[in-house]
Structure 1
Amino acid sequence: MNPLAPFKTLVKERCGLHLEGLAEDRLAKALTQLRTAHALPDLQATYHLLESRESVFAALISQLTVNETYFFREPEQLDLVADTLVPRLLEQCTGTRPLRLLSAGCSSGEEPYSLAMALHERYGERTRALFHIDGGDLDSQILAKARRAEYSGLAFRTLSAPRRQRYFTPLGSRYQLIPTIRDLVHFQELNLLSATLPEALGQYDVILFRNVSIYFSPETRRCIQARLKQWLKPEGILLCGTAETLGNDLGLFQLVEENGLFYFTQMPTGSPTALEPRPASTDVPATSFPEPPELKGPALETPAPPNPVQTCEEIREHLQAEHWEHAEQALETRLAQHPDCRESRLIKAYLLFNRKAFEAANALLASLLEETPWSVDTLMLAGLVARWQQAPETAARHFRHAIYVAPECWPAHFYLADIYRMDAIGKDAAVRAQRGYSAVQRLLAGNRQPATGLVTIPPPLPPGDACFLAQRHLATLVLDRHATTGAS
């Protein structure tokens, strides 16, 4: 038996965290530190301490959660909230009460503070009277950081210079958020598996549950959504991260598309487009906690902490979970020891791309393509960089080469079809786009673990999202073609 299994079960039952891979390594290291700090003789004593003392358990959770976030992450969603959804909700409540908004899993505060900035830019001094913004997180230590509102480094990776100058004041080597915005957000400890909200929290008009569900199993997500449904007003709106939306379409909410973006609502809507929900599942796990398993025998030996020098495979796991800061730190150590490692340099280019440092990423990819001109990962990433740099013909060439090497590379098919559809490159662009989207559907339909041809970089979008979008774009292209044919 895995000696960590009882601890993983305890954490999952109490707060829903799914500890596998690198997360299991963090658990092993945290338990070793806990035993040393409390002079505990074995893992059984460690388990009983965690089970009986809430403060010790909370400290452990703080070590296990990776609080990777930054200001104005997925800004198009925040714009949708501030420009479209909030004005609509304000009209419905006719100004009789402030709108209530919750950032669930707010980490160190960047998301609710970004929301506060976006609303303040549109409503000015009226923001305090019109809105009540809460941030909730399981980690009490990270909430203390959120309340201090002091930030630096990668927290600003997508924040524009004017916003940084407007909303932050220098504080040594860091920056502090100005009180005007800081005072708009209220932070509370929040366990998403709890049957009741903390007393300070209440029914919400908008809940942001973004880039959090990746830490939970599908069963736990259903349980959490059942909680969120109770905490949301009948006309309220739930937003998940862009890459998580389809994975959270579990039948408990109505999925709605508006201006190419997706969110959930409790009530069917006529316009914008309400999408057919998946069948609701009654398989919602119970929230009662089972008796802890007995820990005994030779399996009680404490696992050794993970090797601090991480392999490329371990760094790739950071990328899969979007733990950018951890990936960069691990990569810096690895490149110092292996400066010529092609895989490490490719990961470096991917991180540069993620930070929108396109020129630096391009330079590194050019050298990699000289060495390995038919690397699918390098071609795919080079195509994405070119796409962002508004060079569709260059991007298309890279995607075509990736498909030539790996016909199963559905991300290359998808983005090449997008270029044909949006940029109309070459002759019969619409027909080529249809072929590309059809290839995506063929490669992904009924395949839970589709091959990508990629070895190092993660797919740039989830396969479910790609299949969903390909289906919608294909339907639109077919309708447009019929309309054009009929008109002629």
Structure 2
Amino acid sequence: MSLPQATPTISNEEFLKFRDFFYRKTGIFFEETKHYFVDKRLVERIQATGNDNFRSYFVMLRFETSGTELQALINLMTVNETYFFREEYQFTCLVNSILEEVVQHKPRNESIRIWSVPSSSGEEPYSLAIYLLEHWPRADDYNIELVASDIDTGILERARQGRYDQRSIQHLPEPLLRKYFTKLNGQYQINADLRNSVEFTLVNITDLAQMRGYRDFDVVFCRNLLIYFDDTSRRIAAESLFNALRPGGFICLGHSESMSRITPLFKVRKFPEAIVYQKPR
């Protein structure tokens, strides 16, 4: 009779070795306080891949050529905490102030491009689509392109499906639920027109090569992502976001984030509804 296999353990030295590796690959830095969070997910992947210990798993991870296991690990390590109309005051700022300034410098035949990164499971980009349709009278006058990106392939697939539980839609008024969602098996699914209005893509915003494909956005929503980076990664990400914007474009950060503490590239703009950051014209 074979004995049950012992659960692998992660030493402090192994945690630090993995932390440095993951940081180089993603720009995400785990503090010592995240030791348990990281260990639990590492053990899950060690067992799922048939390895006996961290050492053998880490060798496999470092030398795999497909990137499949690294992506599985990224999907497991990234936190996706969001809901519809989160920090709604920024959506109000978008339709009342930001877009009114954007269109002053844009011909009618030129698209308005808005980027949501990280997209998580889609609540933010779909919130943007709903808010534009409901609250911006000029939405029909322009072609609006909505792009949403994340580093997590699993969460992107969930976003494309657009199915949500009660927690995700808790702040949506009932008329909007009836208008834009269909109830399916206790969940709410965004209607097909809205799902098709958002382009979902995979990106790591600290990867300069990947970020070259993201340009000419008028507005970027990058909320509650930079808090997971260290100072070096934050500067790299901020410069990449700066390059992704058109001159005069705007970026909205999370309420606890400040671009002024990261880089002097952006101009601080204080609108009645929110403080945002602008790429100078």
Q: Structure 1 length as normaliser, TM-score?
A: 0.52
Confirm or deny: 8 A CA contact 1:100 1:132 kept in the other structure: yes
Q: How does 1:52-451 map to 2 (within 5 A)?
A: 52-53=63-64, 54-122=67-135, 127=140, 130-197=143-210, 201-245=214-258, 248-259=261-272, 261-267=274-280
Which AA in structure 2 matches 1:24? Answer: H
Identify the structure with the greater helix proportion: 1
Which AA in structure 2 matches 1:130? Answer: N
Distance 2:78 2:34 in 1: 8
- Alignment size in residue pairs: 268
Q: Specify the SS of the correspondent of 2:168.
A: helix
Q: 2:55 aligns with which of 41, 44, 51?
A: 44
Percent of counterpart pairs with the same letter? 26
Q: Deviations over 1:253-278 (max 9, x none)?
A: 1111111521111217xxxxxxxxxx
Which AA in structure 1 matches 2:243? Answer: Q
Confirm or deny: 8 A CA contact 2:182 2:189 kept in the other structure: yes
Say if 2:37 is the partner of 1:16.
no
Q: Specify the SS of the correspondent of 1:134.
A: strand
- Tell me the residue number matched to 1:35: 46
Q: Specify the SS of the correspondent of 2:167.
A: helix
Confirm or deny: 8 A CA contact 1:245 1:262 kept in the other structure: no
- Tell me the residue number matched to 1:360: none
Which AA in structure 2 matches 1:213? Answer: L
Confirm or deny: 8 A CA contact 1:119 1:127 kept in the other structure: no
Q: How much does 1:22 deviate?
A: 5.6
Q: Specify the SS of the correspondent of 1:3.
A: helix
Distance 1:174 1:206 in 2: 31
Confirm or deny: 8 A CA contact 1:23 1:64 kept in the other structure: no
Q: How much does 1:73 deviate?
A: 0.6
**Inter-CA distance 138–181: structure 2 relative to 1 (3 Å threshold):** same
Q: How much does 1:243 deviate?
A: 2.1
Q: How much does 1:157 deviate?
A: 2.7
Q: Specify the SS of the correspondent of 1:143.
A: helix
Q: Deviations over 1:148-205 (max 9, x none)?
A: 0000121123222222222111011101001222221110001011113468643211
Q: Specify the SS of the correspondent of 1:67.
A: coil
Q: Deviations over 1:102-133 (max 9, x none)?
A: 01111111111101111112458955952101
Distance 1:196 1:66 in 2: 24
Q: Specify the SS of the correspondent of 1:17.
A: coil
Runs of 4+ in 1 over 6 A off after TM superposition: none
**Larger CA deviation: 251-260 vs 196-205:** 196-205
Confirm or deny: 8 A CA contact 1:209 1:238 kept in the other structure: yes
Q: Structure 2 length as normaliser, TM-score?
A: 0.88
**Inter-CA distance 193–75: structure 2 relative to 1 (3 Å threshold):** same
How big is the alpha-carbon RMSD for the aligned residues of Structure 1 and Structure 2? 2.2
**Inter-CA distance 70–148: structure 2 relative to 1 (3 Å threshold):** same
Structure (1 or 2) with the larger CA radius of gyration: 1
Confirm or deny: 8 A CA contact 2:117 2:150 kept in the other structure: yes
Gaps of 5+ in 2: 1-11
Q: How much does 1:97 deviate?
A: 1.3
**Inter-CA distance 213–103: structure 2 relative to 1 (3 Å threshold):** same
**Inter-CA distance 99–182: structure 2 relative to 1 (3 Å threshold):** same
